């Protein structure tokens, strides 16, 4: 029996998927048929056609970029790439003409000549079909990430796509299949991998500070109540719709990405299986009622079955390590990504801040931490850290991510995150949903690498190659 997801893909392929051309969220309804397909796709075994891990595409002296989506994240990305040498911003796309006009004004002040694409739900395809682009940067609502990424790669473009790269296991496999076949990069721009503290922890791990890694903890805990119900923050309240159409950890990647890099997941170790549990919703449904009592606009959101407030997922790796991932965007809690790395010799923790490390029963003093930081300051932070802080974007990590990506493309180097990372980290969302729907039973995590994880080299953080790109600040 074909489920809603397969029917959706057929419709999208026949008519062309455009931004909100139709309601995309109905394709992800929580039906028994959908859960059966999650299990089917999770069990899929695949022979790798071409290994994109460590793949260095031909270098590009100039990276010609087109942006799709100029909302909350989109304009920030345009501003950052506008400050990087060797970038030509040639195309700007959003449904709203005022967004493309603002972006065009910004980049033209720096000498870029950009064409705008707006007003039509399918106009983004015109951008992706251009023959004078090297990279398409996708910053739309989640439902459009995979279709846009696949279409762009099919038309000869490397892709940077915001988190999560995929919403379903089937979409994750699509990204892998397309990237390998076209030999185009598909990088999920997981900016938290470039957080200065996370980079320090990664460098410490590479230098044996933690000993053998045993356990990691990660999270995205961020009170977004006012944002998801805002009439203006998320276009057409798209994230609120996600929250009553889906269950489980909907946004695992921010916390998970850095932990996976510390553990060399997909590069020496792999995830084996996971189990997940969610609380009931004690917040969003009640808030919808309160808002609807004052404003009829919110009446359609009353009575929905919202995702639980706290989702907790535990993962076992092939080497016997464990990972805990949490997600809560509706409880009144302070922001936290819980970056914890525990090994046989030491432990590191960020959140609550400041970050700290320990090799025994007590945390290091501020002076000891400073000395450790100075000794193991990551090469990328040494080179671009202060510039990144000045440019900004989550304290500089957004700029560090974009600069590094452009520098790799210009120098013909592998990207730090590949399509297998994008697929795996994103897949935790539907896998956790399956586990929640099945009384927290375990489910196998697909091996998107087709077995190449055994020999794939860890991410190179040495900066011995590249680093030639300058910032225009």
Domain boundaries, the chain: 4-40, 193-382+419-454
pLDDT exceeds 80 at position 379? yes
Q: Domain 193-382+419-454 is of which CATH architecture?
A: 2-Layer Sandwich (3.30)
Residues 6+ apart with CB under 8 A from 464: none
User: Vertex 51, ends 469 and 464: CA angle to 5°?
Assistant: 30
Confirm if 201 and 260 have CB atoms less than 8 A apart.
no
Tell how far CA 58 is from the center of its chain: 25
The residues near 93 (Cβ < 8 Å, ≥ 6 apart) are 66, 67, 68, 69, 70, 100, 116, 117, 118, 123, 124, 127
The CA distances from residue 190 to 81, 381, 407, in Å, are: 16, 17, 17
Structure tokens at 356: 């700290």
Segment 153-168, tens digit of pLDDT:
999 999 999 999 999 9
Residues 225-255: tens digit of each pLDDT? 999 999 999 988 999 999 998 999 999 999 9
- Which pLDDT score is estimated for 28? 54
pLDDT for res 152: 98
Q: What is the pLDDT of residue 34?
A: 81
Q: What is the pLDDT of residue 473?
A: 84
Q: Is pLDDT at 458 greater than 50 in this prediction?
A: yes
Give the residue with greater pLDDT, 32 vs 304: 304
φ/ψ (deg, to 5) at 168: -125, 160
Residue 9 has pLDDT above 60, yes or no: no
Query: Once rounded to an integer, what is the mean pLDDT over residues 297-302?
Result: 97
Q: What percent of the chain has pLDDT over 70?
A: 94
Q: Which two tokens stand for residue 363?
A: 């945390």
Q: Where are the alpha helices (DSSP H) in 130-237?
A: 145-154, 169-182, 196-206, 225-228
Give the CA radius of gyration of the chain. Answer: 21
Kindly tell me if the per-residue pLDDT of 472 is higher than 50: yes
pLDDT band at 21 (very low <50, low <70, confident <90, very high): very low
Q: What pLDDT does 235 receive?
A: 87
Contact 122, 20 (CB under 8 A): no
């Amino acid at each position: 029996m074909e489920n809603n997801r397969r029917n959706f893909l057929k419709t999208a392929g026949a008519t062309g998927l455009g931004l909100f051309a139709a309601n995309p969220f109905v394709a992800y309804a929580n039906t028994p048929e959908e859960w059966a397909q999650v299990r089917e796709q999770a069990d899929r075994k695949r022979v790798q056609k071409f290994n994109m891990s460590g793949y260095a595409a031909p270098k590009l002296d100039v990276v010609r970029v087109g942006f799709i989506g100029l909302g909350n994240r989109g304009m920030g990305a345009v501003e950052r790439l506008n400050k990087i040498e060797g970038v030509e911003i040639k195309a700007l796309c959003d449904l709203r003409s005022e967004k493309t006009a603002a972006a065009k004004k910004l980049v033209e002040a720096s000498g870029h000549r950009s064409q705008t694409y707006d007003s039509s739900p399918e106009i983004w395809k015109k951008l992706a079909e251009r023959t004078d682009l090297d990279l398409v940067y996708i910053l739309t609502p989640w439902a459009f990430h995979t279709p846009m990424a696949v279409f762009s790669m099919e038309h000869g473009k490397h892709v940077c796509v915001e988190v999560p790269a995929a919403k379903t296991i089937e979409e994750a496999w699509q990204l892998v299949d397309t990237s390998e076949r076209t030999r185009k990069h598909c990088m999920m721009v997981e900016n938290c991998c470039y957080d200065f503290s996370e980079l320090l922890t990664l460098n410490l791990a590479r230098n044996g500070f933690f000993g053998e890694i045993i356990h990691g903890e990660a999270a995205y805990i961020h009170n977004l109540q006012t944002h998801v119900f805002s009439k203006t923050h998320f276009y057409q309240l798209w994230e609120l719709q996600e929250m009553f159409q889906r269950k489980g950890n909907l946004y695992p990647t921010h916390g998970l990405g850095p932990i996976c890099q510390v553990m060399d997941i997909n590069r020496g170790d792999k995830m084996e299986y996971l189990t997940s549990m969610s609380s009931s919703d004690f917040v969003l449904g009640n808030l919808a009622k309160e808002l609807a009592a004052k404003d009829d606009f919110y009446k359609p959101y009353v009575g929905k079955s919202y995702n639980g407030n706290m989702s907790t997922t535990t993962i076992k790796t092939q080497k016997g390590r464990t990972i805990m991932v949490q997600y809560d965007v509706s409880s009144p809690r302070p922001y936290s990504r819980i970056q914890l790395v525990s090994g046989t010799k030491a432990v590191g923790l960020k959140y609550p801040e400041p970050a700290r490390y320990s090799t025994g029963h007590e945390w290091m003093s501020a002076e000891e931490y400073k000395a450790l930081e100075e000794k193991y300051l990551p090469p990328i932070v040494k080179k671009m850290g202060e510039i990144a802080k000045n440019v900004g974007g989550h304290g500089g990590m957004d700029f560090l991510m974009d600069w590094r990506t452009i520098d790799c493309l210009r120098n013909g180097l592998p990207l730090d995150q590949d399509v297998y990372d994008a697929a795996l980290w994103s897949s935790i969302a539907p896998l956790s949903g399956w586990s929640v729907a099945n009384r927290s039973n375990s489910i196998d995590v697909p091996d998107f690498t087709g077995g190449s994880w055994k020999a794939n080299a860890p991410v190179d953080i040495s900066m011995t190659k590249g680093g030639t790109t300058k910032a225009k600040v």
